[in-house]
Amino acid sequence: MFSFGDSVAETGNICVVSSVNATELDALTCTHRPYGITYFGRPSCRWCDGRIVVDFIAQSLGLPLLPPSKSKGKDFSRGANMAITDPVWNHGSLSVQIQWFEKLIPSICATKRNCKEFLAKSLFQFGGFGGNDYNVQLLELGLTIEQAKRLIALGALHIVVPGILPTGCLPLFLTLFTDDELDQYGCLKRFNRLTEYHNSMLRKQLQILQGKHRSTRIMYADYYSQVYHMVQQPKKFGLSNPFEACCGAGGGKYNFDLSARCGMTGATTACRNRSARLSWDGVHPTEAANKMIADAWLNGPYCTPPILS
């Protein structure tokens, strides 16, 4: 299994890249407690209290947690994660990740024929985009499709492409845009309209791509609908306070403040019942939410077709 994406799919590349600079590494709040507390018992360079969606999917497939592709001395024979939270995210980011993957493959499978067979049996997953990387990702719709084409050309037969989270429901944006109009559930209308438009265009492009590559299984993972349903009916999913960040020192309705984010000084305590929260740090989902999302991608109904179908 091979994964690409941003902070929603990050499992350590940014920490590997930043490890040569102690100051830069310390500035990453995901390297501070209470990140990682639920599953790892310590920060794991994931923007979550525990596992993220790609972790749950890997474990469900009987695979180890995907090692960051920039790690040294790791075994990548069962997969790798190219995702990275780049503080200077640019329009070549996904393209760069594909380049990393292309350089990595020869070390796993020696010949072109062996690589074709290896890749045909592998699952490729683009990360669900959202939060702090959202603005650039809106502009990268075409780029995402282009990278999917590159994977298909390499021999990929199973590709998962998620849409964008309902950004209008994120504590981050709800805190920053207090004067915007809210919908009946408490989400920012214009942000969600923009996200819906992006996701609809992405689905159309994927349908076109699928039509050109019948032997490839392209799966659209509907991040938006599932998370929005969690906001609309939190009790149905065993959740409460869907707009309140579990970790942070912002206080108020959303518990989010850019200057008091999770992991910063004074913001190192998480909420008591993490398993009943949707938002971990105001941007990224909790481990509990990630598990529900992964289950719905593996078995349906929020992935078309489901990964395990």
Catalytic machinery residues: 7, 281, 284
Amino acid at 239: L
Amino acid at 3: S
Residue 145 CA, chain-centre distance (Å), reads 17
Q: Give the orientation angle of helix 223-232 with respect to helix 287-299, to 10 degrees.
A: 130
**CB neighbours of 153 closer than 8 A, spacing ≥ 6?**
none
At 145, list the tokens. Answer: 């499709």
H-run or E-run covering 27: helix 22-27
Distance CA 46, CA 307 (A): 23
**CB neighbours of 167 closer than 8 A, spacing ≥ 6?**
130, 131, 134, 173, 188, 191, 192, 194, 195
At 23, list the tokens. Answer: 């100051």
Distance CA 80, CA 71 (A): 10
Contact 122, 1 (CB under 8 A): yes
Distance CA 86, CA 13 (A): 9
**What three-state secondary structure class fits 162?**
strand
